[in-house]
Copies of this chain bind each other. A is one copy, B any other.
Amino acid sequence: MLGKAFFADLEGIETITAPTQVAKLSEDYFRFSPILEPLLTGKVGDIVARPTNEAEVIRVAQVCVNHRVPLTVRGSGTGNYGQAVPLQGGLILDMTRMQTIKWIKPGAACVEPGVKLAALDKQAQEIGWESRMIPSTFRSATVGGFIAGGSGGIGSILYGQLRDRGNLRAVRVVTLEDCPRVIELRGDDVKKVNHAYGVNGIITELELPLAPAYAWAEFVVNFSDFMTAAQFGQALGNCDGIIKKMICILADPIPSYFTALRNYIPDRVHSALVLVAETDIEPFRELVREFGGSIAYKKSAQEASKGISLVEFAWNHSTLHARTVDPTLTYLQSLFPADPNLQLVREMCDRFKDEVMMHLEFIRMNGVVIPAAIQIVRFTTAERIQEIIQYHESHGVLIANPHTYILEDGGMKAIDRNQLAFKQTVDPYGLMNVGKMRAWLGKS
């Protein structure tokens, strides 16, 4: 499909054309969804380009525009909804070689998109700072991929979500115009490309705020009753005098899927996986006592930095571990409304029992601590998943559907006019991540 001239024009840029490798670099974790799997399996690019700097990105952009070749940007491919899967072949732009940390200073950092979150934190921690939030895939995930395809994660209990004003300071993006430009977006303008799956510009640099790096102790606290565990999570979230980075509440049998933690998790318990500032352990223990929890696992920040971290059992890593044991399992993503009694959490548990295993992640949203949820679902049919989603939504639980690769059908729920307008400017030929933006599909 791609002609000789196209390849010639890419001369000097590292490319990959070996089909196995290209196929591998066309994938993400969409197999978490039995609905996406048949839709995305076999969707592969024709070539992978691996630029090392912005100048090379501009060259690739120019070549794709000249030849009208679809271009799909990707980081490490740790997304779960096919965000980075090319639907119509073309060029995969693998950003993982752009790993320069341009600068780090107290409170902020400027990085190329291929910098891994773990690498950023390692360097930031040397001056006492760290990322405000990271995904459970922080070891392999890139900053650019996290911004373009993620929403929040470990740290969201302190700083809210990536989309919140202040959590992304500036981006540089390369356009796919006849003559590709570099545009810098600062302030509220970053919304144009934030969480846009790379449909409207190639991010080549990001400026991010940093958070003070506490020493985070890690705890597993077990409870005999799920709602007590959930209430503990809410109470810890609301405890302004206890600094915490992660509050993950898992209903039985989810913790039993974690082979590496088997020694700490007896049968039939509900577990809280918590990261709390070491200096706040004493009041944290008081809270645990108040809720009748049992501390089964405790690592100091020092110990946790050496071995496994509970971070890699929370957020979507819970689903990953569960699917390792039982590959038929799938998942949902939800936001429950603020409610001190967690009534809707209880209702959903009662209604769906083990079909929808509850997994809460407490986060701050617009200043209020709410339970987000990444429920693990025993899959039967696509219709049943739809039924479960509709039941939640009709009861006021927002579902960020992970069974679609369409940008607006996930968490956004509505067409973002800003993002669409920006795409019209920077991607006039509609070459970027083709087929992912409903607003554009409607237009063309």
User: A residues within 8 Å of B by Cβ?
Assistant: 106-108, 128, 132, 158-161, 164-167, 169, 186-188, 209-210, 212, 214-215, 237-242, 277-280, 282-287, 364-369
Contact = CB atoms under 8 A, between A and B. Distances in A.
Contacts of A367: 237-240, 368-369
Contacts of A164: 239-241
Nearest to A152: B240
11 contacts: A106-B279, A108-B279, A165-B241, A165-B287, A166-B280, A166-B283, A188-B286, A209-B279, A209-B280, A210-B279, A368-B368
Nearest to A283: B166
A209 B282 CA distance: 11
A121 to B, nearest CB: 16
Number of copies: 2
Contact of A241 (B128, B209, B238): B209
A237 to B, nearest CB: 6
B369 A241 contact: no
A241 B368 contact: no
Question: Which 5 A/B pairs are nearest by Cβ-Cβ distance?
Answer: A166-B241, A160-B240, A238-B367, A107-B279, A212-B212
A277 B186 CA distance: 18
Nearest to A167: B241
Nearest to A368: B368
Nearest to A285: B187
A180 B179 CA distance: 84
Contacts of A369: 367-368
A162 B398 CA distance: 35
Given A106-B279, A214-B107, A283-B187, A160 B241 contact: yes
A165 B239 contact: yes
A433 to B, nearest CB: 26
A159 B240 contact: yes
A368 B283 contact: no
Nearest to A284: B166
Contacts of A284: 166
Contacts of A188: 286
B239 A166 contact: yes
A385 B214 CA distance: 46
Nearest to A161: B240
Contacts of A280: 107, 166, 209
Contacts of A282: 169, 186-187
A165 B366 contact: no
Nearest to A165: B283
B107 A242 contact: no
Nearest to A128: B128
A240 B364 contact: yes
A269 to B, nearest CB: 25
Contacts of A364: 240
Nearest to A163: B241
